[in-house]
Chain A
């Protein structure tokens, strides 16, 4: 029902409790509506700067749209014809030219690019921003180091509009790492003016306002309530975006987000339960885009340093006892790629993620338990992160039921979101489910974090194997020098080893789901899985 219809019916109904809404939108308001994008989601940013302390994932979306980077990715056609970022092709953003040499890369900046306050973007801003990202500590510095970018000396000003990035060592991930969200270019003069001795990088200032050159700028931010962004009409690093204004509202209730979409009040929503996405998809009133997380897997992990999961046979038994298909149907409502049940004769691919050859076979699992010396079963704890209870809770209940059939009695331990990372770091949970997804979409990147013996936070199983380390390091070195044959052999090798040693059991590759009105087009999938407003169009 439209507001105008309401007036008609209200006069008849004499609905005294309801105050009539304005009869007609003033034309200016109607215009505003067609050029404004209303996004609803559960959570909002806690910091507008990705270099800040503890910036959350919604904050990444602001940074992505309000700051530029030297380079970005081209799009290619992804699953279902949806544009999907092309891992291997880069396009200039603030740089108009990139020249990658043997041990350095040189970037020529656009001469006409300006920050939101009108000052031109120059090489000293680029150097300052990259220095900042490798120096502030925490997540941004960590992310930069993943591409062997760790020292301010690596960023050299050649002239006002030319910057050179020196490589510490050959690393295939260096250039891709310059196209992630972190190395964004910040207005150095403006931020320095607002920095203090205690806060030399001006993090307090950029936390509250954007100081970039990007296609959008934040005009109002009420933490936990809304973010309003306006288009930067002087943006030169790409085609002028169609959306003039973005209003991003936090709506904590999933049911209401769905209602807002179905009533046509909100343009885009994400973070709905899988069931809602499935139903919305079936109803066909709104467009649903479901795309697999690049380089992401939900898995069951087992601590291999302690009994009973130090026993390979027990781990295999668990792998044969997981109710894979049920999880796909009941928990994910089909919105995931299965990572199990590959045919026995399928050759290992040079790709990640790829499915294992495990499938649900309770008899085999029971036999393995007996072989392992646990014919009467055992007791253990199954932990999950309450922050993602919507998926984790039903998943763990299904696993619990299934494991009971082979005599493994599990107690479910719900770990509050705030505590999850601490628990992972302790590496004491015997059995748990978790999800990992890497921004950089390379098998060796995933394995380096999740299986390497240097035991990072994400090697949640404390898995250590010299053979595995040899293969992972081999693949990284081979990639850096372009030795394809060795690379392929090593990737296949570590995938095979991960599946036969099975310290963690891959379940599925989750989907990122976005629901939008039919008149919204131009959605692009990015490795960070947040929205890029620049390509969106509202008809």
Chain B
């Protein structure tokens, strides 16, 4: 029994990781007043470029790097639409999601001919941390994980520091509350926002990479399955705070892990039916969580509003 629970927690950490990476990135950008619902697409692109990079170089680290670059590029396109062109953030995000989907589906089949099923021969394997991983029970949970889990856990305190203990973070929060006042104070609104978007792009791209390079070894356009949108929900429920976001990501990762875990427990003819039904669990949990916790959520005052210097 303990073994089963340990495995459930270990799966939770794994399923939480893409959510955590994406939502912490989204948290930063939203603190600067930009609502980026396009991270679904950016995550997909990250998975795609990560897969391509790893497939052709046979090197997972290059795959990781290319997923980061892919994520940054797509998020910067979004940034160009909403910052430079000052377009509506929600529609721009919808456009980015559709474009990302189009890019992946078209170029995947342009690179790999119709009917072929390319796969990666290896995935990122868990890296046990010497000594710590040998601690009974929690060692296996916390200290025998893939590189993505470690990155996600390290990034939380770093970004918390960035947001609350640096001039950059203060400027970013000021912009999120009121960009025109921040501009009049001499803060370079566009520059600060672009930096936040680059950080987000890297994290969201990496989230896509985490799915493709450590969980599955194939690419499919359904691979992100609304994880970007769940990440945005996590930011709301985590009240735009890195610590809250960590909690939210673990909760939703748990829901996803549970749906996978229960499926493996049940044996017999009913198992296929149950596990198919359980696949709606993460989405259902998100909707219910938003119903309960999304009500009084108040984000940065200018979140989603357009800002132009004129």
A, B bound: no
